[in-house]
Structure 1
Amino acid sequence: MTDLLGPAEIRELAARLGIAPTKRLGQNFVHDPNTVRRIVSAAALDPDDVVVEVGPGLGSLTLGLLPVSRHVHAVEIDPVLAGALADTAGHPGNLTVHRADALRVTAAELDPVPTALVANLPYNVAVPVVLTLLAELPTLRHGLVMVQKEVADRLVAGPGSKVYGVPSVKLAWYASARTAGRVPPSVFWPVPNVDSGLVAFTRREPPAAPRERVFAVVDAAFAQRRKTLRAALAGWAGGADRAGAMLEAAGVDPGARGESLTVDQFAAIALAAPVPSRAAE
């Protein structure tokens, strides 16, 4: 096994590649081997797991994942970093590097099929990457992602929480999620000005309703989160009266707010709508 990268190795490798971390790509490289070990342990990977890692960067986490999984698909948008990763890892047979945007990766590109997502995600695209990959890769059974602490709190929040919102509900559609720990800024280079959080998730059976239609209801409910559902969904449903009738048919109080509903209740609302609105098509 290749040794994990420490601060000196990270800076030497970056200098050799001419890499200066960019805020545009959300690049903050982990340089603490103990943090890598902690992430790998928390991911609870099976030896048969095939991992998707998004944004491997200089390879800190990749080196920790390779010995404990059957295969690692490393998806890296930066061409210099993507080109150097296999060499850093010692060209192992169980690593495939994809020079690609994770928001555009398709299941057909990943062979063997992935079963787990483990990644230190760039802060600026963390939520769309998680939701996009769960939608595109139905074989993903579980995962662990490191994101900005504020984002982690939103992803795992339940109904009634002040930070419960669109990311919380949409992740709950695909998976059950939980907090798996906090990560301090000091383990990154450059040092971010916020803490990070680990979010673990396990795939669940989604509600029996069209996903696009349910997500349209969720978006409408939280676009005006201070309003009652009857008012917030009026535009989507074709009027407040129609929204109220639809909510009552779904067994949901029209005077409630979106922040109090579970994903299953949002699904019930979507199913109660007699005709899909344009927003849900």
Structure 2
Amino acid sequence: MPDTSAPRLLGPAEVRELAAKLDLRPTKQRGQNFVIDANTVRRIVRESGIDDSDVVVEVGPGLGSLTLALLEVAAEVTAIEVDPLLAGELPATIAKHAPAQAERFRVVLHDALTITDVPGPPPTALVANLPYNVSVPVLLHLMALLPSLKHGLVMVQAEVADRLAAPPGSKTYGVPSAKAAWFADVRRAGAIGRNVFWPAPNVDSGLVAWTHREPPTTEVTREQVFAVIDAAFSQRRKALRGVLRGIAGSAEAAEAALKAAGIEPLTRGEALGIDEFVALTVALHANVEVEG
């Protein structure tokens, strides 16, 4: 059970003090925009729906603003940080601002895009301010790596949030939407302004919440379905009959697979939900070996 002694959250003064101590110059390359508003991190935690039974994994904790808010609620928090400078300082920040919670926190120095093992108890939730330049690959990688995840909430660029939560047929629906739907039911959970960050980004941010769902099939693999999704959106304005000819072997074979899956051959990829992509992949693999 989390200790009732609440952590002291970071505000603008504390964030800048830490940055000065570390001689830190936030880099755009690593998507370093640090939250300096306590109300915002508490809102993220509230919207995430985590409670004192959750083991939370956080990506890109930075100076620890969100980490401290997570420790107010969660049973444990594991933070994955790629920057050695930030990873090295984080335990001291937690010890100073949340001494009662320090034993329930661990930091892992690793790139979240390539991590293959997260130490500690299996995480049940992912809550993070994801680096904007790699937000979708990181989210999909961790969803695949950690089947124990039940739910989560991530802050990403507003445009990316729209794409992740987009339904089939909408203008923003695409590869991220379809692939995320393999793992979870995804929804938009709010907007975040620019002035809560230091340095302020030049884009707006959005919250995306998700709840785990079981894989929609065991007949074909996730990799096989994702290869079909990638192909379907490779030429977004073209009908699937033509777009899939490469992996089906011919336009005729693609048409046969589409009809077998109950899909009109002149349909575009943006009209298909994850269940239709699964049915299409099954039909394609009944006759051909799809390249992934």
Q: Which runs of 5+ in 2 are unaligned?
A: 1-5
CA distance in 1, matches of 2:142, 2:41: 22
CA distance in 2, matches of 1:227, 1:201: 30
Residue 291 (structure 2) aligns with? 279
For structure 1, which segment, 163-172 or 39-48, has the greater mean C-alpha deviation from structure 2 after superposition?
A: 39-48
Alignment of 1:217-228 (within 5 A): 217-228=228-239
Of residues 39, 44, 48, the one that matches 1:43 is: 48
Q: Is residue 2:114 matched to residue 1:104?
A: yes
Residue 255 (structure 1) aligns with? 266
Give a deviation string over 1:76-123, Cα, whole Å, max 9, x none.
Answer: 00001000001101160000100001112224x321110100000000
Q: Is residue 2:38 matched to residue 1:33?
A: yes
Alignment of 1:156-195 (within 5 A): 156-195=165-204
Residue 241 (structure 1) aligns with? 252
Structure 2 vs 1, CA of residues 15 and 256 (structure 1 numbering), >3 Å: closer, same or farther?
same
8 A contact 1:55–1:119 mirrored in 2? yes
Give the deviation of 1:22 after TM superposition. Answer: 0.3
CA distance in 2, matches of 1:38, 1:46: 14
The amino acid that maps onto 2:247 is W
Give a deviation string over 1:111-159, Cα, whole Å, max 9, x none.
Answer: 1110100000000000000000000000011000000000000000001
Give a deviation string over 1:222-250, Cα, whole Å, max 9, x none.
Answer: 00010000011111111101000010011
CA distance in 2, matches of 1:276, 1:142: 36
Residue 203 (structure 1) aligns with? 212
Give a deviation string over 1:171-205, Cα, whole Å, max 9, x none.
Answer: 00000010110000110000111110000000001
CA distance in 2, matches of 1:276, 1:81: 49
Give structure 1 regions of 4+ aligned residues with deviation exceeding 6 angstroms.
none
CA distance in 1, matches of 2:169, 2:283: 23
CA distance in 2, matches of 1:46, 1:9: 26
CA distance in 1, matches of 2:7, 2:262: 57
Structure 1 counterpart SS, 2:233: helix
Residue 94 (structure 1) aligns with? 104
Give the deviation of 1:277 after TM superposition. Answer: 3.0
Of residues 258, 274, 281, the one that matches 1:270 is: 281
CA distance in 1, matches of 2:119, 2:213: 22
Q: Is residue 2:32 matched to residue 1:20?
A: no
CA distance in 2, matches of 1:149, 1:278: 34
Taking only aligned residues, the RMSD between alpha carbons, in angstroms, comes to 1.0
8 A contact 2:7–2:72 mirrored in 1? no
8 A contact 1:76–1:100 mirrored in 2? yes
Give the deviation of 1:167 after TM superposition. Answer: 0.2
Structure 2 vs 1, CA of residues 128 and 47 (structure 1 numbering), >3 Å: closer, same or farther?
same
Alignment of 1:14-163 (within 5 A): 14-90=19-95, 92-107=102-117, 109-163=118-172
Q: Percent of aligned positions with the same letter in both sequences?
A: 60
The amino acid that maps onto 1:279 is E
8 A contact 2:189–2:207 mirrored in 1? yes
Residue 229 (structure 1) aligns with? 240
CA distance in 2, matches of 1:185, 1:157: 23
Give the deviation of 1:207 after TM superposition. Answer: 1.3
State the TM-score, normalizing by the size of structure 2: 0.94
Q: Which runs of 5+ in 1 are unaligned?
A: none
Structure 2 vs 1, CA of residues 169 and 242 (structure 1 numbering), >3 Å: closer, same or farther?
same
CA distance in 2, matches of 1:261, 1:140: 26
CA distance in 2, matches of 1:265, 1:157: 16
